[in-house]
Amino acid sequence: MAAIPGGADHAHDHAHDQPSGIMRWVTTTNHKDIGSMYLWFSFAMFIVGGIMALVIRAELFEPGLQVVDPDRFNQMTTLHGLIMVFGAIMPAFVGFANWMIPLMIGASDMAFARMNNWSFWLLPPAAILLSTSLLVPGGAAASGWTLYPPLTVQMGMGMDMAIFAVHILGISSIMGSINIVTTILNMRAPGMTLMKMPLFCWTWLITAYLVIAVMPVLAGAVTMILTDRHFGTSFFNAAGGGDPVLYQHIFWFFGHPEVYIIAIPAFGVVSQVIPAFSRKPLFGYASMVYATSSIAILSFIVWAHHMYTVGMPVAGQLYFMFATMLIAIPTGVKVFNWVATMWRGSLTFETPMLFSIGFLFLFTLGGFSGLVLSMTAVDVQLHDTYYVVAHFHYVMVAGALFSAYAGAYYWLPKWTGHMYDEKLGKLHFWLSIVFFNMTFFVQHFLGLAGMPRRIPDYALQFAEFNKISSIGAFGFGISQLVFLVVALKCIRGGAKASAKPWDGAEGLEWTVPSPAPHHTFETPPVIK
Amino acid sequence: MGLSLLSGLVRAEMKFNLQEPATELGHKVYDLHLMMTIVCGVIFVAVFGVMFWSVFVHRKSAGHKAATFHESTTVEILWTIVPVFILLGMAWPATKTILAMRDTSNPDITIKVTGYQWKWGYDYLKGAGEGISFVSNLSTPQPQIRNEASKGGEYLLEVDNELVVPVGKKIRVLTTAGDVIHAWWVPALAVKQDAIPGFIRDTWFRAERTGTFRGQCAELCGKEHGYMPIVVKVVSEEDYAAWVDGKKKAMAAAADDPNKVYALPELAPRGEKVFAANCAACHQANGKGLPPAFPPLDGSKVVLGPQDEQIKVLLNGRPGTAMASFKGRLSDTELAAVITYTRNSWSNATGEVIQPSDIKMARE
């Protein structure tokens, strides 16, 4: 692979087929540009959602009402959830997919380059709808990100804006996923069979099918809320022959796979990083593929474990408990495989590896609290408490976010052509892991002691842990700015990165120069 | 800061586990959770013991050279099969607990619990105390919430009317709701059941000891979700009989004659109380509301307009808004009182007195 187009062609492209300035980004169909925009967008949304989290934690610093009134508080918890799930984490991994999948499979770009542009540019309007809903009369949706009716039927126009935002974000995700599936299935370089693909591509292939399967379900559910609100239907209104619990079934049929839509690409990133810094191939590649597929399939048949307290038949509770416990098996296989990859390797601990180990350690902790919650009788006590809040933040933050950071540090040299500041990167990791645990570990105890979630004020026995949690949250929030500094420094300059800055890394992306030229693999490489 | 945290950590009220259970089922749940936590903890330590061993021993800086192995079918099968057996071991006690939890047959007393925004209604349907019915509101004063007064020991977990039940009796709780979904939760009794408008669900408990047990609404139900606690007072059988007696007498005494004709000075103070308990959370004690979601009543066109219109709003609610129907929640006298109060308070001065008979007519 000698003939990789270099810098000269790069400039040439700019002159001929691309406008400059802002129009370059508006009209781009290049997977690297679009990937970068996804990543910046998700980081911006991460900051917005993070500020909302800090408003929540500021209010909960002490008993009593200090910072916001209860209605605003509920708006904050709702938007924090929606923005972090749909605006920050999902687009972050789509950004990784855009940048890395073509580079990993030796494709010149994504399959549908123009649709790729469109699926990105749908995101900002949705983000604007969500954030400006705070300013309309009645404020934003205040029903929790799960949007349960009949409460959602009571809200003002902020709820309609949230519903439209969810529609738009859903369309964007579906288009992105169609693009990823098509790219992976059709555009692999000659000789790259499916079972030779980097695991990151496998995890995204599986995730993309999940997205295509469940986003329309969510769109249907919120549309039914919309018509219940404005057009006199009674899908979820018992007085008109509907059933409020029906919404919960539909929502969680989407909602549980959604958890894996977030987690599975995170598994993929970690499966790239751990072998690279262990200098040893991934242990059990095939079993990783099968385990990931099993998790995806199981995710469709466990949804009602979010609803143990709605009053379903005993047989239903038993079935959903057993099905949920089953997920522990493929998840366990993955954790064991990662540990076995490290075993007898030659380990170094650059920032991507630190975040991956942090992921492994804390995600597993979140997995175990999930296993505790799968027990119906225990879950009935812990449902809708801070134990659940702690559980899913271990999965979402220490899981998905830490993995996204691992990926960002791992591929920053490829994206920018410079090495990032290792000292600052490590500082970012250690601050994050300490403050993360300070924020969320104590929330397990709050839940066990009986503190419900989504309350702006609480009884006095919860005061100490809430104080610790709030201090941790501010520390965690401020630590994330270190990453911004590292990323900006890395873009502006720093030590030149070679084509393959990590000696243990494997894959086609390391065969192109750093920074990756605007166009790569115009002639597909041949894999033996 | 650090010091106050440290002193906080050693304070006795910091709890690291579930509340001390007061029912047999509660003990089962407590033990199940403890067993799960210990088993998970042991596996966690074992797996990450291996990982950290690797982190310390197999590091490049210690000169460790990477091995090249990357699969082993035997190991893969082993770590798939072994967890299956561990999970089976966990599923057995979990299943037994669920079956016990869901057996609501043969109750001694049946109580219907209705969730409203934002209070609980209790109706004793069957067994000792049948016929008793009351509403239970948060009793923590507003100044404590607003940080204008120091907070009492049971801040946010105290109510005006506690649910009283006898010790050792099987209490079946039927849950439903008048507006949105709520959840009736008392941790020490190991009971949590969603209260769903239009549907009835059930759960049960049998308290082993007397005492006062506190819980909260566990399903987000709007603005005041954090302010609808549950207090269950478990008393001896004799005390319960005495309470039933007293409660029934008090209810009989408080029953209103629906045909009585009231004068303004008599009805307005009654209306003020009804307003404080049912309306002030949204429309505010000063009648200014929290626009635009919760409109003001002071100077409102509806309140100052024809009385029939206002009665209709209170009876039927305003679908699609937070304004609920009070048809089933308030009596004719209470509705008459609160409407009279709103028409003669703040800057409103219609001088009109709405009679219970007006409400009765509107209902028909």
Helix H segments across A400-496?
402-416, 422-449, 463-492
Name the more confident of B351 and A13: B351
Closest CA to A410 of A427, A425, A394: A425
Give residue A528's pLDDT. Answer: 77
The verdict on B236 and B269 lying in the same domain is no
CA distances from A520 to A104, A110, A118, A336, B306 (A): 11, 12, 22, 36, 76
To the query of whether residue A252 is one of the catalytic residues in this protein, the response is: no
Q: What is the mean pLDDT of residues B191-205?
A: 96
- Please check whether residue B9 lies inside any domain of the structure: no
The verdict on B289 and B317 lying in the same domain is yes
Distance from the A194 Cα atom to the nearest Cα atom in chain B, whole angstroms? 18
- Please check whether residue B7 lies inside any domain of the structure: no
CA B112 to chain centre: 13
The verdict on B214 and B247 lying in the same domain is yes
Distance (Å, rounded) from C-alpha A207 to C-alpha A213?
Answer: 10
To the query of whether residue A305 is one of the catalytic residues in this protein, the response is: yes
The verdict on B287 and B329 lying in the same domain is yes
Give residue A191's pLDDT. Answer: 94
To the query of whether residue A114 is one of the catalytic residues in this protein, the response is: no
Closest CA to A501 of A405, A416, A402: A416
Note whether A377 contacts B: Cβ–Cβ < 8 A.
Answer: yes
- Which helix (H) or strand (E) segment holds residue B19: the answer is none
- pLDDT, one tens digit per residue, over A350-377 is 999 999 999 999 999 999 999 999 999 9
- pLDDT, one tens digit per residue, over A17-69 is 677 888 989 999 999 999 999 999 999 999 999 999 999 999 999 999 999 99
Residues of A in contact with B156 (CB under 8 A): 63, 457-459
- pLDDT, one tens digit per residue, over A109-149 is 999 999 999 999 999 999 999 999 999 988 999 999 999 99
The verdict on B152 and B87 lying in the same domain is no
Distance (Å, rounded) from C-alpha A393 to C-alpha A371?
Answer: 15
CATH code (residue B270) = 1.10.760.10
The verdict on B205 and B84 lying in the same domain is no
- Please check whether residue A517 lies inside any domain of the structure: no
The verdict on B113 and B99 lying in the same domain is no
Helix H segments across B102-236?
142-145
The verdict on B116 and B246 lying in the same domain is yes
- Please check whether residue A150 lies inside any domain of the structure: yes
Decide if pLDDT at A295 tops 70.
Answer: yes
Give residue A6's pLDDT. Answer: 42
Residues 6+ apart with CB under 8 A from A218: A166, A170, A251, A254, A255, A258
Taking CA atoms, what residue in B is nearest to A141? B222
- Please check whether residue B8 lies inside any domain of the structure: no
Q: What is the mean pLDDT of residues B122-138?
A: 94
- Please check whether residue B302 lies inside any domain of the structure: yes
- Please check whether residue A526 lies inside any domain of the structure: no
Decide if pLDDT at B8 tops 50.
Answer: no
Phi/psi of residue B195, nearest 5 degrees: -110, 110
Note whether A317 contacts B: Cβ–Cβ < 8 A.
Answer: yes
Which of B221, B254, B287 is the last residue before a domain boundary? B254
Taking CA atoms, what residue in A is nearest to B156? A459
Percent of chain A whose pLDDT exceeds 70 = 97
Closest CA to B236 of B168, B329, B299: B168
The verdict on B154 and B174 lying in the same domain is yes
Domain containing residue B42: 17-47+73-103
Give residue B13's pLDDT. Answer: 53
CATH code (residue A493) = 1.20.210.10
The verdict on B85 and B180 lying in the same domain is no
Beta bridge partners of residue B211, listed in sequence order: B234
Domain containing residue A61: 25-511
- Please check whether residue A200 lies inside any domain of the structure: yes
Q: What is the mean pLDDT of residues A496-500?
A: 95
- pLDDT, one tens digit per residue, over A215-252 is 999 999 999 999 999 999 999 999 899 999 999 999 99
Distance from the B345 Cα atom to the nearest Cα atom in chain A, whole angstroms? 26
- The domain tally of chain B equals 3
A344–B66 C-beta distance less than 8 A: yes
> Number of C-alpha atoms within 13 angstroms, CB side, residue A365?
21
CA distances from B325 to B23, B102, B322 (A): 37, 33, 10
Phi/psi of residue B115, nearest 5 degrees: -85, 130
- Please check whether residue B59 lies inside any domain of the structure: no
Going by the DSSP 8-state scheme, the letter that residue B213 receives in this structure is E
Decide if pLDDT at B14 tops 70.
Answer: no
A456–B226 C-beta distance less than 8 A: yes
Structure tokens at A277: 């810094």
Decide if pLDDT at B51 tops 90.
Answer: yes
- Please check whether residue A322 lies inside any domain of the structure: yes
The verdict on B118 and B245 lying in the same domain is yes
CATH code (residue B212) = 2.60.40.420
Closest CA to B177 of B195, B159, B193, B194: B195
pTM of the predicted model as reported, rounded to 2 decimal places: 0.90
Distance (Å, rounded) from C-alpha B122 to C-alpha A364?
Answer: 43
Distance (Å, rounded) from C-alpha B356 to C-alpha B257?
Answer: 9
Sheet harboring B191-195: ordered strands across?
B163-166, B229-235, B211-217, B182-186, B191-195
Range from A236-240, A260-264, A303-307, A509-513 carrying the lowest mean pLDDT: A236-240
- Please check whether residue B57 lies inside any domain of the structure: no
B155–A460 C-beta distance less than 8 A: yes
Asked if A444 and A387 touch (Cβ cutoff 8 Å), the reply is yes
Give residue A309's pLDDT. Answer: 95
- pLDDT, one tens digit per residue, over B144-167 is 999 999 999 999 999 999 999 999
Residue numbers of B between 39 and 68 with CB closer than 8 Å to A: 40-41, 43-44, 47-48, 50-51, 54-55, 58-61, 64-68
Note whether A47 contacts B: Cβ–Cβ < 8 A.
Answer: no
DSSP string, B117-134: TTEEEEEEEESTTTT-EE
Percent of chain A whose pLDDT exceeds 90 = 93
Per the document, the length of chain B is 364
- Please check whether residue B11 lies inside any domain of the structure: no
Give residue B318's pLDDT. Answer: 83
Name the more confident of B3 and A310: A310
Decide if pLDDT at B15 tops 90.
Answer: no
Give residue A2's pLDDT. Answer: 43
Structure tokens at B339: 């409407």
- Please check whether residue A527 lies inside any domain of the structure: no
Which of B204, B227, B254 is the last residue before a domain boundary? B254
Structure tokens at A362: 């804390």
Which of B212, B232, B254 is the last residue before a domain boundary? B254
Give residue B280's pLDDT. Answer: 86
Beta bridge partners of residue B172, listed in sequence order: B110, B204
CA distances from B273 to A94, A291, B176, B284 (A): 57, 62, 25, 13
Decide if pLDDT at B319 tops 70.
Answer: yes
- Please check whether residue B63 lies inside any domain of the structure: no
- Measure CB to CB from residue A346 to each of B29, B66, B179 and give the nearest one: B66
The verdict on B212 and B113 lying in the same domain is yes
Interface ipTM: 0.91
Q: What residue type is assigned to position A247 of the chain?
A: Y
- The domain tally of chain A equals 1
- pLDDT, one tens digit per residue, over B236-294 is 999 999 999 999 998 888 777 777 888 888 888 888 888 988 888 888 888 888 877 78
What's the mean pLDDT when you consider all of chain B? 90
